[in-house]
Amino acid sequence: VFAVIASAGLDGVYRCATGRPASQRTAHELEPDRFAVLDDADVQRRFIDASGSEETVATFTLPALHCASCVWLLERLYRVDAGIVRSEVDLLRRTIRVAYSPARTTLRRVAEALASVGYDPLVDPERSAGGVPRARRRLYLKIGVAGFAFGNVMLFSIPRYANGAPLEPQFQRLFDALNLALAVPVLVFSASDYFRTACRALRARTMLLDVPVALGLAALFGRSVADILSGRGEGFLDSFAGLVFFLLIGRLFQQKAFEGMAFDRTVRSFLPLTVGIEAGGAIQRTPLDEVRPGDVLVLRPGEVVPADSVLRDAAATLDYAFVSGESAPRALRAGEEAPAGGRIVGQAVRLQVIRPVSHSRLAELWTRPVFARTKPHWITTVSSRFAWHFTVGAIGLALAGAVLWWPDAAMSLQVATAVLIVACPCALTLAAPVALGTAMGQLGRFGCYLKQPDVVLDLARVSTVAFDKTGTLTLGGGDSVVRHDLPPEHWDAVRRLAAESVHPISRAIAASAPVVAGAVSDVHEQTGLGITGFVNGERVVLGRSSFVGRETGRVLPDRDDHTWAAVGPDAPRPIVVRPAERRRMASAISDLRRRYRICLLSGDAPRDARRWSRLFGGQVRFRLSPDTKLDAVRARQAGGERVLMVGDGLNDAGALAAAEVGFAVSDDTACLVPACDGVIRGDRLPALAGVLSYARLARRVITIAFAVSVAYNAIGIALALAGRLTPLATAILMPVSSLTVIGLSAGLMRFGARRVAS
Amino acid sequence: VSVIVLLIAAGGFVAGGFLIAFLWAVGSGQYDDTTTPPVRMLLDDAERPQPTRHSKDDA
């Protein structure tokens, strides 16, 4: 990677890069024809926005995109491939638009150029051509129209308010006509969503807060038109335009929070796009869709088994950590079944497919009904119940007002409409979106990405935090050497021998320091037991206590985290190897314990069981399958607990989906997230307690904002019932209440975020 | 007094001009990405920031 960057004169990136690892081996180097699928015209169409003979524009999603130096580097992509004309990055959505000359380069070469500088483009077969989100543009247009109308209607209404009495008839008529002309586009264009959702909700016989809002808006507009046409007054059109304007601002908060959250992907993005199939002695790269049962796949180390298959070679080692959570790889013999989802370790293997890709057990795990999320968010339940009460209450009060003034028919109609106008829960509809939208945006900045703003309130109500172990509390990367007491030159020899093996413990030992050169000969490995060989002429034995004991003729104690090594004639010494733990996790867990019940649900064998048990106060369970994890979560829910499940992905996907809130932990942003409610960056996991307290803050802020807006509504309704709700009173009350609620929610949530970050 | 009508017409003309300008700006995509440009403008445009003395620009 460095070579490509330096040769293109882009080494300035290292000057501004802070968080980026300086060098990483890209998958591109491991898999030279990974992007071959981009030569396919059908696939190309999914990436290309506009094509021409001079210039073709394509959009890629780059999960690794995250900082200013990424922008600097990627917008100078033309230096890596001369066929690239220009490139433009969108930091928030993690996309890059590349314009290239089709005569001088190809889409595949563009993707390879991206990969060569360390940004692997997401080559997801199910993506659709990425356009600019139209919804957001529309929202801006609606806000623009509503704001324009609001300002001008207010301008035309002020003379009337300032005068205190009707203006000269010719002016009043002119102003009324202008106001009407301005208000109609607001009703038809800007406010259209509210009426549409309200209609849809009523037709489906459900209740949303949009129903009373639409009712209030209709009352406002209808009453104003009636007043103007009958010459009774100037109407409430300024309040109407202002109300729509503020409501749309609330929507903008909500929509902003959603951006850059496109992390939801399917099982397909975990599998490779193409696999090598053995056909007549040669290996042919074939799109995954065309793999049929009976085909013989040739998979290289690091590749994932895409379909349930049977091993054709004599032996193979597969890593199923992602599926089962078990970190030790599984050794398979010829004829044994290799289910989909395993990663090949060691050397290339040949597998015969026995079930179509879409029918593998892995795919079934994903398509199981638990993942079709039906659990409602707490706020949806609450607000729909609330909307019922509100609508019934508003209509009831309007009727009461009408009855109160009954003998006077005109007055009673006026009071009734005035109640409907002022009872519009505009401030209420603003409180939750603004507070939750701000919270979601701030959490995203912090490294905790939610799928929906509503998740914040579910988080606030959690009572139990359940953790997965592998990949969550421990690092997914594998084991690391904790301690050993071998002399340095012996340690070098052991590491040199360990480099010959693919077992995770050997790999951990070899990787604990750069392996020194040394002549290795006569290596014998017994899979799962140990390895022997000669390093620089000295015999080295490395492995389990039983293996090393047998090889050296001694009896060694058996401890589950001890690996033994003997060099030359010396007595064997233990090497302690443990899964690498995330830093500061222990203190984070004791933080959580102060407020929440916590438990550990691991799919792994009980290594280090005592330590974990102490940390979790005895609430630990090992060797759980994905199904029993799900059951464990369900059992807690049956006991009245609300569970936050924190896991790494697939093997606890069921538990993530079933829990009130499921968080997937990810160390790179390009992670795979089946059915979770949010993704939290691995290095931010220790701050989970802070995230939860921020969620509780959001709940308090919404309660405060609700209280404030209910107070405004009460004042308005009192005025309306007394028959004193003048247009001027509304014109003051409505914007003031909307602005307090927006300011309060957004301000408090931003202020609170500063405390979480520190 | 009819000068007021003239003023209103003039005011409406100016305001309408700004509204159209805003609608055009949204339509042409200027509001599509509000995160990257502020970052981009802080980056140096220099073709090669601070090259070492004896290396020549190979771009």
Amino acid identity at A510: A
Residue A422's closest CA among A754, A49, A53, A738? Answer: A738
With 80 as the cut, is the pLDDT of residue A625 above it? no
With 50 as the cut, is the pLDDT of residue A27 above it? no
Pair A430, A539: CB distance under 8 Å: no
pLDDT tens for A380-400 read 777 778 888 888 888 898 898
Other C-beta atoms closer than 10 Å to the C-beta of A13 total 20
* CA closest to A88 among chain B residues: B36
Residue B54 confidence (pLDDT): 44
With 60 as the cut, is the pLDDT of residue A595 above it? yes
Q: Which residues of A touch B52 (CB under 8 A)?
A: none
Pair A656, A254: CB distance under 8 Å: no
Segment A283-295 mean pLDDT? 77
Match 């701030």 to its residue by tokens. A442
Segment A706-713 mean pLDDT? 86
Measured in degrees and rounded to the nearest 5, phi and psi for residue A117 equal -95, 10
Q: Which residues of A touch B14 (CB under 8 A)?
A: none
Say how far apart CA A473 and CA A611 lie, in whole Å: 13
Other C-beta atoms closer than 10 Å to the C-beta of A581 total 16
Pair A135, A143: CB distance under 8 Å: no
Annotate A592-609 with b (16+ C-beta within 10 A) or e (fewer): bbeebbbbbbbbbeebbe
Q: What is the DSSP code string of A325-379?
A: ---SPEEEETT-EE-TT-EEESS-EEEEE-S-GGGSHHHHHHHSGGGS--PPPHH
Pair A633, A663: CB distance under 8 Å: no
Per-residue pLDDT band at A34 (split at 50, 70, 90): low
Segment A667-692 mean pLDDT? 73
Q: Quote the minimal CA–CA distance from B25 to chain A in Å.
A: 10
For the record, the structure tokens of A508 come out as: 């951990």
Lowest mean pLDDT: which of A182-191, A475-484, A668-677, B31-40?
A668-677
Q: What is the DSSP code string of A412-430?
A: HHHHHHHHHHHT--HHHHH
Pair A315, A333: CB distance under 8 Å: yes
DSSP-derived secondary structure letter, A473: I
Pair A474, A653: CB distance under 8 Å: no
Residue A721's closest CA among A422, A274, A307, A471? Answer: A422
pLDDT tens for A420-465 read 888 777 777 888 888 888 888 888 777 787 877 788 888 999 999 9
Q: Which residues of A touch B31 (CB under 8 A)?
A: 136-137, 140
- Top pLDDT among A269 and A47 is at A47
Other C-beta atoms closer than 10 Å to the C-beta of A731 total 21
Segment B32-44 mean pLDDT? 75
Per-residue pLDDT band at A253 (split at 50, 70, 90): confident
CB of B10 within 8 Å of a chain A CB? The answer is: no
When CB atoms are compared, the residue of B27, B39, B58 closest to A68 is B39
Please tell me chain B's helix, strand, coil percentages from 3-state DSSP, rounded to the nearest 5: 50, 0, 50
Pair A443, A694: CB distance under 8 Å: yes
Say how far apart CA A638 and CA A658 lie, in whole Å: 12
Q: Which residues of A touch B50 (CB under 8 A)?
A: 12, 15
DSSP-derived secondary structure letter, A467: E
Residue A110's closest CA among A178, A60, A147, A75? Answer: A60
* B15·A90 Cβ contact <8 A: no
Segment A568-588 mean pLDDT? 82
Residue A349 confidence (pLDDT): 85
- Top pLDDT among A607 and A159 is at A159
The DSSP bridge partners found for residue A483 are A576
Pair A409, A703: CB distance under 8 Å: no
Strands A678-681 and A661-666: parallel
Per-residue pLDDT band at A142 (split at 50, 70, 90): very high
Task: Give kind and range of the element (H or E) at residue A665.
Answer: strand A661-666
Residues 6+ apart with CB under 8 A from A97: A49, A57, A58, A59, A87, A88, A90
Alpha-carbon distance values, A736 to A491, A502, A746 (Å): 73, 68, 15
Residue A671 confidence (pLDDT): 45
* A9·B48 Cβ contact <8 A: yes
Residue A267 confidence (pLDDT): 43
Residues 6+ apart with CB under 8 A from A253: A433, A434, A437, A438, A742, A746
Instruction: Determine the Cα angle at B34 with ends A197 and A692, to 5°.
Output: 70
Instruction: Determine the Cα angle at A310 with ends A307 and A316, to 5°.
Output: 100
Q: Which of B26, B44, B56 to mutate to test the interface with A (most CBs of A within 10 A)?
A: B26
Range 25-44 of B in CB contact (< 8 A) with A: 26-27, 29, 31-36, 39-40, 42-44
Match 């001009």 to its residue by tokens. B17
Q: Is residue A758 classed exposed, middle or buried when 0-12, 13-18 and 19+ CB atoms within 10 A define those classes? A: exposed
With 60 as the cut, is the pLDDT of residue A26 above it? no
Segment A717-737 mean pLDDT? 85
Instruction: Determine the Cα angle at A133 with ends A73 and A242, to 5°.
Output: 120
Say how far apart CA A649 and CA A640 lie, in whole Å: 25
The DSSP bridge partners found for residue A647 are A664
CB of A93 within 8 Å of a chain B CB? The answer is: yes
DSSP-derived secondary structure letter, B13: H
DSSP-derived secondary structure letter, A559: -
Pair A679, A397: CB distance under 8 Å: no
ipTM: 0.76
Listed ranges A253-262, A669-678, A685-694; the one with the highest mean pLDDT: A685-694
Per-residue pLDDT band at A33 (split at 50, 70, 90): low
With 80 as the cut, is the pLDDT of residue A287 above it? no
CA A245 to chain centre: 30
When CB atoms are compared, the residue of B19, B29, B40 closest to A71 is B40
DSSP-derived secondary structure letter, A684: G
* B32·A15 Cβ contact <8 A: no
Per-residue pLDDT band at A322 (split at 50, 70, 90): low
* A174·B5 Cβ contact <8 A: yes
For residue A32, give the 3-state DSSP assignment. Answer: coil
* B57·A79 Cβ contact <8 A: no
Segment A182-209 mean pLDDT? 88
Residue A84's closest CA among A68, A69, A96, A72? Answer: A96
* A132·B58 Cβ contact <8 A: no
Q: Which residues of A touch B35 (CB under 8 A)?
A: 90-92, 260
Other C-beta atoms closer than 10 Å to the C-beta of A11 total 17
Residue A7 confidence (pLDDT): 59
Say how far apart CA A225 and CA A248 lie, in whole Å: 23
Other C-beta atoms closer than 10 Å to the C-beta of A708 total 18
Pair A247, A213: CB distance under 8 Å: yes
Q: Which of A148, A150, A168 to mutate to test the interface with B (most CBs of B within 10 A)?
A: A148
pTM across the whole model: 0.70
Task: Give kind and range of the element (H or E) at residue A680.
Answer: strand A678-681
* A133·B32 Cβ contact <8 A: yes
Say how far apart CA A584 and CA A314 lie, in whole Å: 44
Segment A84-89 mean pLDDT? 84
Residues 6+ apart with CB under 8 A from A265: A124, A672, A673
Per-residue pLDDT band at A222 (split at 50, 70, 90): very high
Residue B29 — left, alpha, or beta (φ > 0 → left; ψ -120 to 50 → alpha)? left
Say how far apart CA B20 and CA B7 lie, in whole Å: 20
Say how far apart CA A211 and CA A193 lie, in whole Å: 11
CB of A174 within 8 Å of a chain B CB? The answer is: yes
Residue A738's closest CA among A704, A701, A709? Answer: A709
Mean pLDDT of chain A: 79
Residue A263 confidence (pLDDT): 46
With 90 as the cut, is the pLDDT of residue B18 above it? yes
DSSP-derived secondary structure letter, A53: S
Q: Which of A72, A168, A173 to mutate to test the interface with B (most CBs of B within 10 A)?
A: A72
Q: Which residues of A touch B57 (CB under 8 A)?
A: 9
Tell me how many helices (H) and strands (E) chain A has. Answer: 26, 26
Residue A649 confidence (pLDDT): 67
Lowest mean pLDDT: which of A343-347, A592-596, A741-745?
A343-347
- By residue count, chain B amounts to 59
Per-residue pLDDT band at A478 (split at 50, 70, 90): low
Task: Give kind and range of the element (H or E) at residue A541.
Answer: strand A538-543
Task: Give kind and range of the element (H or E) at residue A427.
Answer: helix A426-446
When CB atoms are compared, the residue of B15, B32, B39 closest to A148 is B15
Residue A184 confidence (pLDDT): 94
Q: Quote the minimal CA–CA distance from A218 to chain B in Å.
A: 25
Segment A59-85 mean pLDDT? 78
Lowest mean pLDDT: which of A155-164, A269-278, A736-745?
A269-278
Q: Which residues of A touch B36 (CB under 8 A)?
A: 71, 89-92
pLDDT tens for A143-185 read 999 999 999 999 888 888 887 777 788 888 888 899 999 999 9
Q: Quote the minimal CA–CA distance from B48 to chain A in Å.
A: 7
Segment A545-561 mean pLDDT? 82
With 90 as the cut, is the pLDDT of residue B20 above it? yes
pLDDT tens for A638-652 read 988 999 999 876 667
CB of A335 within 8 Å of a chain B CB? The answer is: no
Say how far apart CA A74 and CA A499 lie, in whole Å: 36
Residue A321 confidence (pLDDT): 64
Task: Measure the CA dihedral B41/B44/B47/B50, to 10°.
Answer: 180
A·B CB contacts under 8 A: 73
Amino acid identity at A308: D
